[in-house]
A = this chain, B = another copy of it.
Amino acid sequence: MTAWDPYVSDCPSRRLLDRIGDRWTVLVVGALSDGPRRFSEIARRVDGISQKMLTQTLRGLEQDGLVTRTVTAAVPVRVDYELTDSGRSLQGPLRALEEWAIEHMSPVLAARERFVTSTSSS
């Protein structure tokens, strides 16, 4: 199992990675990392997300059993989202990825610069 066969498109692990790989899921999970949050709180934390995308992302996560949705019927409705155990278990790998990103930021950005600079030759 050392080799890398399983990347045919019907591979179920790819379906999962597809979901995780979308632009917002990672960020929303991150926004929930330190406890339950209200809808609008998440919206504020994840800068640039539209209400539609947030709803959609949360629905997906709920559907995959990664977050729970709790409705409190008050005068202004209150909805809290919280990571499930599954969801929390995803934090580790996600953190790892983020740390990698931070750690390798400067080399990568430097590489991008170099790439642009070397455009002059031809």
Contact = CB atoms under 8 A, between A and B. Distances in A.
A96 B93 contact: yes
Contact of A7 (B2, B31, B109, B115): B31
Nearest to A64: B108
Interface residues of A, number: 54
A74 interface: no
Interface string A25-60: 011001101100000000001111000000000000
Contacts of A110: 65
Interface in A58-77: 62-66
Given A23-B18, A96-B93, A45 B111 contact: no
A39 to B, nearest CB: 16
B100 A63 contact: no
A34 B46 CA distance: 36
